[in-house]
Amino acid sequence: MRNRKNLPVAAMRAFEAAARHGKLTAAAEELAVTHGAISRHVSHLEAFIGTPLFEGARNRPTLTAEGRVFGFALTAAFDQIEDALRIIARGDDSILDVACLSTFAMRWLIPRLHDFTAKYPHYDVRIATDDRPPRTQIDIQILVVPPDAPILDNCSLLFREQLGIIVAPSVEKGELDCVRADVVKLPRLETRTRPHVWREWSRLTSEDWLDTARATRTFDHYHLTIEAALSGLGAAIAPWHLVARDVACGRLVAPYGFLDSDYRYVVKVERPGRRKTEHFVGWLREAIAAFPAPTL
């Protein structure tokens, strides 16, 4: 490996901009240099690493396979540098990176964040909701622990999940027994990220809900399944904390109530002892304690 002091940083910066924009002219505008300067930097970088990064006509070059890989790596590296500079400039305690499932973020965490920011306005809360390795160090993770899995030493329990069947209020007609009879006839809404939730419900209720004769509709994520239930497309099984507001305001009904499942939500603090994480976890526990319990 060559010594880092010999790395052509200016050339890498020019190439990264060209790869990101897909045009040398756009890169030149961003960096406030000439088109020729960008072209020379790219040529210098190609000679340095010994492989072409662009191919095709001079006026409309396209990235080679190696160019795409290197461009992606450089963009990620420059993003990390920018994040580090931002942390240094603003102070590490001003940025709070939180990772959690996307549906939890959309339907529970984000609607309550205004309360946290009102109490702690100097924090910049950033939420990551995918499974890819994050660009920056995560401060706090909110995780779901499945049944029979242990809670790790660096995690602490937040709450235990409660599940229930949810439907749009259009099926709510007459007495409770009539409502339940209507629910049984509805299409079954399922979620790819939790494909066995109807089997879980059968176990919790000691009843068979896996009627193969019923129509089923499957969605990629829980928030899509919940939206489908809100739109009257069928019956879904969802956790109470994700649908509590909709049930409370009458947009959804839960004719069978909610039952404790074996899933647990936990919080993991990556770097304990920091004031910002203590503030967030403390607020999180207060918000969970104030969360209403389900009613039939």
Complete domains list, the chain, with CATH = 4-90 (1.10.10.10), 92-154+264-289 (3.40.190.10), 160-263 (3.40.190.10)
Calculate what percentage of the chain has a pLDDT beyond 90.
61
Average pLDDT over residues 269-280: 88
**Residues in Cβ contact with 143 at an 8 Å cutoff, skipping those fewer than 6 apart:** 100, 155, 265, 266, 267, 268
Contacts 24+ apart (CB under 8 A), 90-93: 90/124, 93/123, 93/274, 93/275, 93/276
Residues 177-196 pLDDT 10s = 555 667 778 899 999 999 99
* Predicted TM-score (pTM) of this structure: 0.66
Return the pLDDT at 1.
Answer: 46
Cα dist. 32→7, 13, 14, 29, 37 in Å? 22, 12, 11, 5, 10
